[in-house]
A and B are shown apart, each in its own frame.
Chain A
Amino acid sequence: DSGVTQTPKHLITATGQRVTLRCSPRSGDLSVYWYQQSLDQGLQFLIQYYNGEERAKGNILERFSAQQFPDLHSELNLSSLELGDSALYFCASGQRRTDTQYFGPGTRLTVL
């Protein structure tokens, strides 16, 4: 158990819908990272937040957004969902400029 929690574990929805994925970082970690894992693209970095502020952006679509709240939990919002958005979404947490990122168990999103 990494100490990072993600909810829900599974999510099934339809095209065009909007979903919110939630992540709680390890106690003491200020950074939250979001990654997408799909069969064709592999593991891709989406976005990072540090202590409530966006710090880095990767291959995140404009239909996707995230935020980190004062209690440091983070939410990833995915809207206008397409079939190709079906993937495992991982959250990781870490301390700034530290050596490790600890991953949550992931949320499996299926878009039908």
Chain B
Amino acid sequence: GEDVEQSLFLSVREGDSSVINCTYTDSSSTYLYWYKQEPGAGLQLLTYIFSNMDMKQDQRLTVLLNKKDKHLSLRIADTQTGDSAIYFCAEDLWGRGGSQGNLIFGKGTKLSVKP
């Protein structure tokens, strides 16, 4: 199947770390992505990880990839109220025969940050 799964909601306090989890189905996916969508806005690319990596850090963001379990996580350190948004995990389909890299998205995790 092509389901990318995420929990729907996450609530944290300002200053805490947030961890958003995602499971994907295609072990041949080349890249895995995290996008952020603020209310009424488009999708902003946050970060991505290549499938041969275990971890990628980019300022307050840390992506962990467990390829064996097909599990991806996004950790946001020192979460701020401005981080409140919906976070989408996505996998590409480069690994599948005939596909050209279109993305399969999870349903999104709504992160609420309380002051």
User: Which residues of A are interface residues toward B (Cβ below 8 A)?
Assistant: 2, 31, 33, 35, 42-45, 48, 50, 55-56, 58, 90, 92, 94, 96-97, 99-106
Instruction: For residue B27, give the distance in angstroms from its CB to the closest CB of chain A.
Output: 18
Instruction: For residue A105, give the distance in angstroms from its CB to the closest CB of chain B.
Output: 4
Within 8 A of A (CB), among B23-41: 31, 33, 35, 41
* CB atoms of A48 and B102 under 8 A apart: yes
Docked Cα-Cα span, A90 to B103, in Å, equals 12
Instruction: For residue B103, give the distance in angstroms from its CB to the closest CB of chain A.
Output: 6
* CB atoms of B100 and A2 under 8 A apart: no
* CB atoms of B33 and A97 under 8 A apart: no
B43 at the interface (CB under 8 A from A): yes
Instruction: For residue B28, give the distance in angstroms from its CB to the closest CB of chain A.
Output: 14
Contact of A103 among B42, B94, B102 (CB under 8 A): B42
Asked whether A2 and B102 contact (CB < 8 A) given A42-B107, A42-B108, the answer is: no
Asked whether A99 and B99 contact (CB < 8 A) given A2-B42, A106-B42, the answer is: no
Docked Cα-Cα span, A45 to B24, in Å, equals 16
Docked Cα-Cα span, A99 to B45, in Å, equals 11
A46's nearest neighbour on chain B, judged by CB, is B102
Docked Cα-Cα span, A90 to B35, in Å, equals 13
* CB atoms of B42 and A105 under 8 A apart: yes
Contact of A56 among B50, B100, B105 (CB under 8 A): B100
